[in-house]
Structure 1
Amino acid sequence: MVSSSIRDPSPRRCCVELSGRLRASVLIVGAGPAGSSAALLLARAGVNVVVLEAKSLPGLKTACSGILGPLAWGVLPIRCQGWVVGRIDWARFISPLGSRLDVGGRGLARVVDREALNRDLAQRAEDAGAVLLTGSKLIELSPGLAVAKRRGARLEVRFDYLIAADGANSAVRSILGLRNPGIELGVNVRCSDGYMDGYEVRLRGGSRFSWIHPGPGGLMAGALGRLGDPVVDWANSHARCSRGEVRGGLIPRRPLRRLVVRFGDSWVALVGDAAGQVKPLSRGGIYWGVSAARMAAEAILDELEGRGSVMVYQRRWWRRFKREVALSLSARSYLERLSPRGIEKLFQLLKSREEVLRESFHVDRQGEAAAKLLSPAVAASAVAISPAAAAAAFARLMTELAGW
């Protein structure tokens, strides 16, 4: 527990409404899984936490698919079987020309209702003592002071630490002048009919793909592409059901190098989509983002107790995920170079390694699986370049990432 000398008394909600001013040891912007997980862990330790959430309700109309592998499920600070709406026992990948690759294994992943997960995490954080302020949009940020617009009024929050968990289009990251991790567009279409216990992915070429899997009340189809691509049409064509409710969102392409920034006398830690912490191949973000939230919360607690520095969060996250990031980005760079015929040839090569494919496939460790499957020689055959050139390209990316 945090000592009483650094624990601020929790502000009452009436004080927020009347004065428009708050004081927090830790301010968290964004009440998604990463932000709410950090809030819950810090509030449990007795830290005064304020959470600003722009939406009127955490998780409202989220566009995320909700596929959680075993590591993602395990890293959540709370778990509830009531969130689970389906399971993934097999995965099928379809090339642009129609070839198929099937991988199986009971219990590959769970599918959860992301709205329910987000709401429960935020509620648990509030129950633990965090102050959750919904409908609060960040409009200004200076060292130690955040200004939000809430119900038409100005709200000021003074803080010592800020955790930015405000999504791919992070306002905090923009104000700090940090590099944009690159943005893609993802959409989901919720269908009320149909059932499946697997996950089907259709490659569209480059980094574009569409998918279908179990979802709340039926099936969920989706697609990912660049801004301007017909992703809604791709999702609907894959759904094989009547047109359902369409939800869209922005997805970052790669993690930031800098996850902690000194901001005047305060510190800012970026987590989740705000830090670009999504898997480069599938674009799933729960495992990396919530892991980051845990590490950031632990580092802040250590600094408050005089046992360490908040900078430890950045080092810990990259120590754990650096190899997976490098391997995943390498695999994605290969796939983005392939023409439809190149993808077809790659599928044929991978079918000859069916046993390796079956043994190595892992929802949460996609980079390691790709490294076993997409060796430079295999990738070179698919893109019609020499194995030496493919190996050199792989080495260049690894060298670039070595400095992260």
Structure 2
Amino acid sequence: MAPAITLAAEAPKLSAANTGFMLICSALVLIMTPGLAFFYGGMVRVKSTLNMLMMSFISIGIITILWVLYGFSLAFGTDHGSFIGWNSDWVGLSNVGLTELWDGYTIPIFVFMVFQMMFAIITPALISGALADRVKFTAWALFVALWGTVVYFPVAHWVWGAGGWAFDLGVIDFAGGTAVHINAGAAALGVILVIGKRVGFKKDPMRPHSLPLVMLGAGLLWFGWFGFNAGSWLGNDDGVGALMFVNTQIATAAAMLAWLIYEKIRHGAFTTLGAASGAVAGLVAITPSGGAVSPVGAIAVGVIAGVLCAMAVGLKYRFGYDDSLDVVGVHLVGGVVGSLLIGLFASGKGQSTVEGLFYGGGMTQFWKQCAGVFAILAYSLIASAILAFLIDKTMGMRVTEDEEIAGIDQAEHAETAYDFSGAGGGVVGAAVSALAGTETKKVDA
């Protein structure tokens, strides 16, 4: 009998369909950052609107350049000690072939690079919501550059880079529960513990000035998140990307409803801000888990995240830390919840055969998730606090008290979001003029 012939596995070939799909997903993830800017911009007071928008937009500029120069290499290059990557051919992307495929996939390296760039952009932008009203724009820009280099690029390697310690341990993070949301939420907590509270925290009203802007931002985030989540499978040849797409919608809807019900029971009303915040909480929680859970599991993830995040946003008043726009309560808590629930609800029928506790898999995956969650949380919190401390002691992190009271938009950008001088005559014009005069007298006082 002739010996059996073993055929070598056919090398992957470039797929025009997957390449096009991933380019669209990259654009969807990019639109999330302007969406975040609107979401945060509507939640602050009028005098901080432009600064809030700019804190997101500057991240697009800074991180794009750093990612091309060395960030992509640090995050996804050849592993060194399970902590960081490096590939000199990727520095400046000068030695990457146009049709050179990403590791074992059917898309070019350039496509994977730009998709991951959009993740790197939005992650520091998420932090900005905790720092509203009080941070110098130059200090923030420097923080973004340093934080991306010292925190995000290494953590991305740990979680998604071949050889990263969390990757090798088997920590499941489909699209960024640890690397993006826990990372950003813990960083936000670290920075606000250093820079302190806003002037008037817990004394002055600090309500959102434009709930329509908040809803617009939440809608753009929800829309773009489909690219964020479904695109993270880098194609859809086996249906896992479609599962993630479906679970993203399901968990987001469930979290929004759960937040509103909790809010009605606790505070007596269904608020617009609650609907937007609940949706974002669901998006955060399903990001790490959506490829591992069933649609019913996605409902559970959404409901649990919606309630726990709604409860968590009030902790800042109890413990006295000024998380301006609830980055800790939504992104840190939502990321932790979504990541840990994989250990309970993983069905074994999605991105891997791993089963959670409720599907007969025991607690093994849960403890792996705990290791990834709390190690990244601790690293980001401590490193971010150190960076903020160093910046504060060298160039100063905060604007002056007078500038904060008068409005950070005017102080940092020499602009205002709304021009009330052209409001017109009659009763409306008189009311606006009187209001402006009152505010001016308050500032002068």
Same fold per superposition (TM over 0.5): no
Larger Rg: 2
- TM (norm. structure 2) is 0.24
Greater strand fraction, Structure 1 or Structure 2? 1
* Structure in which a larger fraction of residues adopt helix: 2
